[in-house]
Chains A and B, each alone.
Chain A
Amino acid sequence: MAIEYLGLSEINGPMIVVEGVEGAFYDEIVEFSVGKQAAPGTPDAGSCAGAEQKKLGRIVEISGDKAVIQVFESTAEMSLLNTRTRLTGHPMEIGLSEDILGRTLSGLGRPIDGLGPVRAEVYRDVNGQPMNPCTREYPRNYIRTGISAIDGLTTLIRGQKLPIFSGNGLPHDELAAQIVEQASLGEDSADGGAGEFAIVFAAMGVKYDVAEYFRRTFEECGASSHVAMFLNLSNDPVVERLITPKVALTAAEYLAFEKNMHILVILTDMTSFAEAMREVSSLKGEIPSRKGYPGYLYSELAALYERAGIVKGAEGSVTQIPILTMPNDDITHPIPDLTGYITEGQIVLERSLHQKTVYPPINVLPSLSRLMKDGIGAQYTREDHQDVANQLFSSYARVGEARDLASVIGEDELSPIDKKYLEFGLAFEQQFVGQGRNENRSIEETLKTGWKLLRILPKEELDRIDTKILEKYWERG
């Protein structure tokens, strides 16, 4: 029984008010049929003429028979008279099957690669449901990315959510692409590194070039058939941007927990997502909290990030690498700040390292992987991994102090030990953090480099390494 309501009461940007609606439920998807409007001179005038336009929207507020609807697409062409509204009777859903891999879809999950519709085995509500903490499996197996700064110091674990905090103009896209190309399940991990990665890529408000860069990279490394791309580009409607990551994560959950695949999800750029939320919230006339963002920014971000994980009884996993550009490189801005409180660590890119042409410009000090401690060590990587990492962190923190001092009293006046630290700092940035765009290092190589650098310092300065491990590895690394 498809009742259609003719006419609208109000249009305000992407928000529409319809009155006299009966039986609508909160969060229901509605379909609009927009009648042909004579619009001579517009580029679409020729092709669209005569056809009715279909648009989708979601009910975001109901009071009595009045429904406030958020339209996913542009509201251009809509008028208060020419639009018919139909309730679909279900929340936002996406049809899924394994065929989704290898496809390119819009931010709403509609194919835009011209290969026809995706066969749907099941339909899933894109909002998802919270995972029960009792049924989660605590993530322990590491993912080898071949990048020393990540593998060695902020190890990525299967089922983790580890964002890249970046700034405009920094090579976060290259880094994410390199991770995707090189990511392999550690061969020595508990299940012998069985299984392969499939990739779900969600672009929210990114530039065409960026999306294209990723598409080309996937193609070049032969992964295209394992990638599902959801694209909402920067000129696509903002309301669609709010749903894009949910659609992508619903696909990821389906592939991981029902099809037992290991899924790496790249979400870029979370800043655009949050900006879109602010835009829509202010249109709705909501009370802003920090910097104009709505009070529920934390809950919304959490609803996305928490969809990473491993569950009992399924072989697959969802690992998230969200990318966000920190406005003005400010890590205390609400978006990186709230993200850091939800995700299990962060990889922070640093402009000054980029200027020194260090690639990847990862500042290891504020970077962190919370799950690392349980996924490394004798069982997984090597027994000295944690100690080496701690020592590198602690020594590199000391480098900062020595540099501060040098900038005041001059390098020549430094004590011999502080000079050693300066030498160590430089070598650490060049040789450990810095590596080639296509260089794929093994864990052994990473740890060996770590030991080599630590040998620059006097042995008694290494206070974070267990005496036995120090004796065993000091000479040979």
Chain B
Amino acid sequence: MGIKGKIYGINGPVVTIKGNPGYKMNEMVYVGERRLVGEVIGLAREETTIQVYEETSGLRPGEPVEGVGSAISVTLAPGILSNIFDGIERPLEVIARQSGVFIPTGAQADALDRERLWETHITVQPGDQVAAGSVIAQVPETKSITHRVMLPLGVSGEVIRVQPDGEYTIEQELVAVRTGDGREISLSMTQKWPIRIPRPVMKRFPADRPLITGQRILDTLFPIAKGGTAALPGGFGTGKTMTQHQLAKWCDADIIIYIGCGERGNEMTNVLEEFGELKDPKSGNLLMDRTTLIANTSNMPVAAREASIYTGITLAEYYRDMGYHVAIMADSTSRWAEALRELSGRLEEMPAEEGFPAYLASRLSAFYERAGYVQNLNGSEGSVTIIGAVSPQGGDFSEPVTQNTKRFARCFLALDKSLAYARHYPAINWLTSYSEYMGDLAAWYGENVGSDFVPCRNRILNILTTENRLNEIVKLIGSDVLPDDQKLVLETARVIRLGFLQQNAFHAEDTYVPMEKQLKMMQVILHLYDRCRALVDMSLPMALLRENDIFEKIIAIKYDVANQELQRFDEYNGMIEEFYQHLIATEA
């Protein structure tokens, strides 16, 4: 039994105890008769401060507080995937079966099903030497993912007893180990890990492999590395959630942890429904088979919202340790920062910028630093990629959360209101976004996609930047007076914007585009540009070039050429040649 105390004061999610019953910092406690989950966040001789992860309505002074003796932790075992949890790993489906439509306070449920039998294959034999992280068993958790049961941290020694392959629950003994000092330890599939502490790794690798997303503007212009970090800021209605959904659906990570942190309930329901129907293009299995949802919607208790980010990343690290590539979608980190602010206000801490606590920056950096491409303790390689949405107040990127995130995330995908208003999706602004990974990934692209990939990409970006400069002039004097070579730049930029950057998430072909097609699209656009440039240099007017519908045809490639029929790009190159030769023959 843990240490007991008595409630003295209650203010929203913050509960205080008179005196110091001897709790540890960050220890998990049960608060009140209804045993609400809480965490010790402040210790002083006169007063202990606890943040409660549930609605505190109904608590009375004098009700008991009971410590569990360890920090707030998540349960790690098969059953995490294709599940939906709240911010402190309570299974929402089980709670729905227990109590219906609404989530009552003090709902008690085991994080993972303790009854369910898992088909287990034991991978060690008596006499084997094992250490922390060693894989001792394999369980097919879903159709897509094999769960590798690992030795918990701090355990090593010799295997002395092994159960035969068969069906086991997550709590039954699979293997027993005798440690160096002669103790015998019985191991099941289950282990626990405190959410605020990163799981250890052997070493970190540089981020030199891209996370392929099938979204043209990301893969080509602003790539994210596996094990990298990306921030996705945007005002409301700019498509943060939509972009996160697209990434969760199509990116080539093995496992997706989707954290709905302080967002809309209907959106989580949408993800649940959609991912339960959509198929993963690589494996052909349901997307939900590789996904875990953490839903702490905006009306659920604020303290659990703060914890949900850590719960998510701990689950991600656990699967990384098995040797998987995991991507985390955190939607949105601003809500998490606001939860920090709200709690900080309740604790009457001195506020820094915009009322956020002064430790905002260090908390953010600690979170983003848990991403990485690593070698695990058991020698396997895995990665955790973090893609965090940011909801800046008033859409203004100079606010503290965006600015601090910018310092720690290496890829910045700025969503733009005016693009969203014109329904240009994804509304990622190509002038203000950047990716620091381009340099690291150039070698990979050169080897795996094509040697001219990076040069093509740079030319495309160059045309877009030039367009921006020219637009300044157009705004003042109109486009008619520009020389023809500049008009050509504007026309090509239009082709790039409509035909390449805009991508329709609801179109069967366009929603995901393989790298080869992305490269070919760039090549064909640049080919058109070069040919037109030659014509313009021969003093053919742009107006004449524009009479041909070749520009519209190139724009429509994204819809007209299916992802499997890449040979059809030759037709388009042929069309451009024909257009070129025809104009030369008739006009020059």
A residues within 8 Å of B by Cβ?
A: 23-28, 60-65, 91, 127-139, 159-160, 257, 286-290, 294-296, 298-299, 302-303, 305-307, 309, 311-314, 331-334, 337, 340-342, 344-346, 365-366, 368, 370-371, 373-374, 386, 390, 393-394, 397-398, 404-405, 408-409, 413-415, 418, 460, 463-464, 466-467
Which residues on the A side are within 8 Å of B269 (C-beta)?
133-134, 136-138
**Chain B window 82-109, contacts with chain A (Cβ cutoff 8 Å), 1 for yes, 0 for no:** 0010000000110110001111110000
Q: Is B415 an interface residue (CB 8 A)?
A: no
| Chain B interface residue bracket vs A | 35 or more
Q: Are A311 and B101 in contact (CB under 8 A)?
A: yes
Q: Are B102 and A139 in contact (CB under 8 A)?
A: no
Which residues on the A side are within 8 Å of B237 (C-beta)?
340, 345-346, 366, 368, 370
Which residues on the A side are within 8 Å of B104 (C-beta)?
129
Closest Cβ of chain B to A307, distance in Å, is: 7
Which residues on the A side are within 8 Å of B422 (C-beta)?
365, 393-394, 397-398
Within 8 A of A (CB), among B502-561: 506, 549, 552, 555-556, 559
Closest Cβ of chain A to B239, distance in Å, is: 10
For B298, give its contact among A28, A299, A309 (CB under 8 Å): A299
Within 8 A of A (CB), among B88-140: 92-93, 95-96, 100-105
- Which of B53-61, B180-188, B432-440 faces chain A? B53-61
Q: Are B555 and A463 in contact (CB under 8 A)?
A: yes
Describe B's contact surface by its main secondary structure.
mixed
Distance in angstroms between the alpha carbons of A116 and B11 in the assembled complex: 37
Given A131-B101, A309-B265, A408-B476, A62–B345 Cβ distance below 8 Å? no
Q: Are A332 and B394 in contact (CB under 8 A)?
A: yes
Q: Are B8 and A63 in contact (CB under 8 A)?
A: yes
Which residues on the B side are within 8 Å of A370 (C-beta)?
237
Which residues on the B side are within 8 Å of A302 (C-beta)?
262, 297-299
Q: Are B10 and A132 in contact (CB under 8 A)?
A: no
Chain B residue at smallest Cβ distance from A61 = B11
Closest Cβ of chain A to B17, distance in Å, is: 11
Closest Cβ of chain B to A2, distance in Å, is: 17
Which residues on the A side are within 8 Å of B147 (C-beta)?
none
For B342, give its contact among A295, A366, A393 (CB under 8 Å): A295
A-B residue pairs in contact (CB < 8 Å), sample of 23 = A26-B56, A26-B58, A61-B9, A91-B57, A128-B102, A129-B55, A129-B104, A131-B103, A132-B92, A133-B265, A133-B269, A135-B100, A136-B265, A136-B268, A138-B273, A287-B348, A296-B302, A306-B299, A307-B299, A337-B395, A344-B266, A374-B270, A415-B478
Which residues on the A side are within 8 Å of B18 (C-beta)?
64
B residues within 8 Å of A by Cβ?
A: 8-12, 16, 18, 55-62, 84, 92-93, 95-96, 100-105, 235-237, 260, 262, 264-266, 268-270, 272-273, 295, 297-300, 302, 335, 338, 341-342, 344-346, 348-349, 351, 354-356, 391, 393-396, 417-418, 421-424, 474-480, 498, 506, 549, 552, 555-556, 559
Q: Are B102 and A132 in contact (CB under 8 A)?
A: yes
For A64, give its contact among B8, B11, B474 (CB under 8 Å): B8
Closest Cβ of chain A to B221, distance in Å, is: 21
Q: Are A289 and B103 in contact (CB under 8 A)?
A: no
Q: Are B266 and A134 in contact (CB under 8 A)?
A: no
Chain B residue at smallest Cβ distance from A391 = B423
Which residues on the A side are within 8 Å of B335 (C-beta)?
298
Chain B residue at smallest Cβ distance from A415 = B480
Q: Are B10 and A26 in contact (CB under 8 A)?
A: yes
For B345, give its contact among A295, A307, A312, A331 (CB under 8 Å): A295
Given A288-B355, A337-B393, A138–B270 Cβ distance below 8 Å? yes
Closest Cβ of chain B to A85, distance in Å, is: 16
For B10, give its contact among A62, A136, A287 (CB under 8 Å): A62
Given A296-B12, A307-B299, A133–B272 Cβ distance below 8 Å? yes
Q: Are B393 and A334 in contact (CB under 8 A)?
A: yes
Which residues on the A side are within 8 Å of B272 (C-beta)?
133-134
Which residues on the B side are within 8 Å of A366 (C-beta)?
237, 417, 421
Distance in angstroms between the alpha carbons of A306 and B338 in the assembled complex: 18
Which residues on the A side are within 8 Å of B10 (C-beta)?
26, 61-63
Q: Are A306 and B298 in contact (CB under 8 A)?
A: yes
Distance in angstroms between the alpha carbons of A332 and B397 in the assembled complex: 12
Distance in angstroms between the alpha carbons of A129 and B559 in the assembled complex: 46
Closest Cβ of chain B to A259, distance in Å, is: 14
Q: Are A371 and B342 in contact (CB under 8 A)?
A: no
Distance in angstroms between the alpha carbons of A337 and B238 in the assembled complex: 13
Which residues on the A side are within 8 Å of B264 (C-beta)?
306, 342, 344
Distance in angstroms between the alpha carbons of A237 and B306 in the assembled complex: 34
For B354, give its contact among A134, A289, A337 (CB under 8 Å): A289
Which residues on the B side are within 8 Å of A289 (C-beta)?
341, 345, 351, 354-356
